[in-house]
Structure 1
Amino acid sequence: MLLALGTGAVHIAPADTLAVLLGGDRGQATLIVQQIRLPRVLLAGIIGATLAMSGAAMQGLFRNPLADPSLIGVTAGASLGASVLIVAGGSSLSGLAGLSLVSLGAFAGGVLAVLLVYRLASSENGTSVATMLLAGIAITALAGAAGSLLEFFTDNERLRQISLWKMGGLDGANLPRLLLASVVAGAVLLALPRYALPLNTLLLGESEARHLGIPVNRTKLALIGWVAVGVGTSVALVGTIAFVGLVVPHIVRLLIGPDHRTLLPASALAGAILLVCADALSRIVLAPTELPVGIITALIGVPFFISLLRQRHQYGMQT
């Protein structure tokens, strides 16, 4: 954490960073650490943990290690909501609790998309995971098409704003955003581990889980709801950050196994570390220019992910 706080266009030595955190006065370094980098690093950790744990929960629910939260439409819906508000000029207007109207529109779009997916997948017989997957793909495609249509007709300035928002970034971190993320993510990070045993049981199949006394439909609804709130808030605050919710839990599962009692908290920790490190790199790769953090997460994680998959494949061939 000290290295992340000291990393950027203006380098701050770890000793000075520690002194600032302990209440010392180091002039310009105090301002940079307290007002700019500390909220940013904390927000990165919170968002990374939320995305990774949400991804682990979705992979357990869909019984697919390559599933991620975007499968239920929350990311595409949030992107469409943000695009609508950007085209309408909402990026220059204030919303609530220090958030722009774009952030509020992104959250609303993500939640509405998830509600629509859940409604399409539900029937008198319950909620079908397979139908939910197909509905999520359809809603994601529809939201993507609507967003592309908006981008086609908008001007270059707003088109650039949309593109940068979709790449994700933590440069807008401040105290109101940090407090909101802490409250929402805290609730999500405390709630999802409560479903570790039901998720473990669902790995056996829905019929088996019902026979073992698991309220399958209620578990599905709770998991979808918590993930929608957590990921919707994350996307609303920092934009779209791909890869974290997909690859982090998959890598953690390869390392420690599929038991959700350990997988969920370990994924949260790994996601927090990854996003903090990625944000630090985004500030120094082309300093003083900052790269979108979503690009860094992909560049860091994809090669590592491919390496692990190759190792697993080679191990399977040997056995």
Structure 2
Amino acid sequence: MNKKYFISYSCSLAVLLMSIWFGISFGSVDVPLSTLWDKETDPVAYSILWKIRMPRVVLSVLVGASLAIAGAAFQGLLKNPLADPYTLGISSGASVGAVTTIFFGISIPILGTFTLPVFSMIGAVLTIVCVMSFARVVDRTMKMETLILTGIIFSSFLGSCISLMVALTGEQLREIIGWLLGSVSMRGWPYVKMILPFVIIGTIIIWFNRRELNAMVYGEERAQYLGVNVKRSKYMILAGGSMLTGASVAVSGTIGFVGLVVPHMVRMICGADHRHLLLLSLLNGASLLVICDLVSRTIIAPTELPIGVITAFIGAPVFAYIFFKQRTKGG
């Protein structure tokens, strides 16, 4: 490993550890780090840390890492720096799957608590398939603008479906609205256990296709010449990214721009080699969401802001900058 990547990994890991430390220590009640292993000194602080703070921070790490690595994979696959689960409509598709599960009270015995994330992932997969199919029909070259506009079209339609279910719902209204705003608060360890297997599987799928992503940057024909099974790799990357997005949306609601901002920043600093881009995006995505969650619960304490509001404040200007930069370069 050369010096540039060693420094990048070291800094990213240090920032992640520091953000986790801040996340578990600070809030409406400050909890000293020694409480991690010392229950006798302050049982109340120990309970706050292990029952509220720790699962919240761990969930932030998992969701942030999932969205960031999924965004990096989609950007590499589509050769498009504006591609991410949010702008492509995948988050909206996952939201429809999750809201439908809540609205109709769907519970499949064989799946149990995994019913919600599974339906969320099905919504994500169906959405990306529809977006890419429609974009290819409109423009066979699948230009950046076509993909983004197609994602916006599907997001708008799926958003109206969600609004319809919200308008028709009764006692589930509070649950759906709270979930749609995006949050990792009061989720607890069951949600961590729910998302963890999907994060592991989705990350492994994308990681095993890192060399294929590098090859496809130069075009599908060149990738095939280099021995890449392009069709299989596409499906695997889309499946892995949709799994990560669907599971994240299922446990935390809609949190936008993490998959757009983090991979773009990592790419600017460390280059586009997916052997490093994916891991560095994972680490920095986890750090970003832990920090955003900390800000959301402390900036106007004791009131909490939805975490999606914080990520949108960061992501929207970056999205505008990337889009402007691409348009300037293209024209």
User: What residue in structure 1 maps to residue 178 of structure 2?
Assistant: 164
* Cα separation, 2, equivalents of 1:116 and 1:300: 29
> Any conservation in 2 of the 1:98–1:176 contact (CA below 8 Å)?
no
State the partner residue of 1:188.
202
Aligned match of 2:52: 36
Q: d(CA) in 2 for partners of 1:34 and 1:223? A: 35
Deviations along 1:134-188, one digit per CA (max 9) or x if unpaired, are 8755543432232233344456x75554443222100132222112322221222
Instruction: Measure how far apart 1:245 and its partner are.
Output: 0.7
Letter in 2 for 1:4: G
Give the paired residue count: 302
| Stretch of structure 1 that moved more, 201-210 or 103-112 | 103-112
Give the whole-Å Cα distance in 1 for the aligned partners of 2:275 and 2:165: 43
Kept in 2, the 8 Å contact 1:80–1:106? The answer is yes
Question: What is the identity, as a one-letter code, of the residue corresponding to 2:26?
Answer: T
Match of 2:226 among 192, 204, 212: 212
Change (3 A) 1:108 1:189: closer
Alpha-carbon distance in structure 2 between the residues aligned to 1:38 and 1:205? 44
Instruction: Provide the rounded CA distance (Å) in 2 between the counterparts of 1:53 and 1:95.
Output: 31
Describe how 1:120-199 pairs up with structure 2 within 5 A.
130=142, 133=147, 139-154=154-169, 161-199=175-213
Q: What is the DSSP-based 3-state SS (H/G/I as helix, E as strand, rest coil) of the residue aligned with 1:266?
A: helix
2:302 counterpart of 1:288? yes
Taking structure 1 as reference, are residues 216 and 137 closer, same or farther at Cα in structure 2, changes over 3 Å only? farther
Mapping of residues 1-319 of structure 1, within 5 Å: 1-12=20-31, 16-17=32-33, 19-25=34-40, 26-70=42-86, 73-88=89-104, 90=105, 99=113, 105-114=119-128, 130=142, 133=147, 139-154=154-169, 161-302=175-316, 305=318
Matched letter for residue 248 of structure 2? S
* Letter of the 2:246 counterpart: G
User: CA–CA distance in 1 between the matches of 2:128 and 2:206?
Assistant: 17
Identity rate, percent: 37
1:32-52: per-residue Cα shift (whole Å, max 9, x none)?
001111011011011101100
The 1:200–1:150 alpha-carbon spacing in structure 2 relative to 1, beyond 3 Å, is: same
Question: C-alpha separation between the residues in 1 aligned to 2:122 and 2:233?
Answer: 23
Structure 1: stretches of 5+ with no match in the other structure: none
Q: Given the superposition, is the C-alpha separation of residues 176 and 86 from structure 1 closer, same or farther in structure 2, using an over 3 Å criterion?
A: closer
Gaps of 5+ in 2: 1-19
Structure-1 separation of matches of 2:24 and 2:226: 48
Task: State the distance in 1 between where 2:312 and 2:227 align.
Answer: 40
Structure 1 residues 217, 102: closer, same or farther in 2, change over 3 A?
closer
Distance 1:213 1:117, change over 3 A: same
Over aligned residue pairs, what C-alpha RMSD do you find? 3.4
Deviations 1:80-129 (Å, cap 9, x if unpaired)?
Answer: 233334444x49x9988884976565344334434555777899xxxx88
Given the two structures, how large is their TM-score scaled by the length of structure 2?
0.78
After superposition, give the CA deviation of every residue in 1:19-76 in whole Å (9 maximum; x if it has no partner). 2222443221000001111011011011101100000000000001111124554311
Structure 2 distance, partners of 1:243, 1:273, is: 14
- SS class of match (2:142): helix
Asked if structure 2 preserves the Cα contact closer than 8 Å seen for 1:172 and 1:238, the reply is no
Code of the aligned partner of 1:290? E
Contact 2:96 2:123 in 1 (8 A): yes
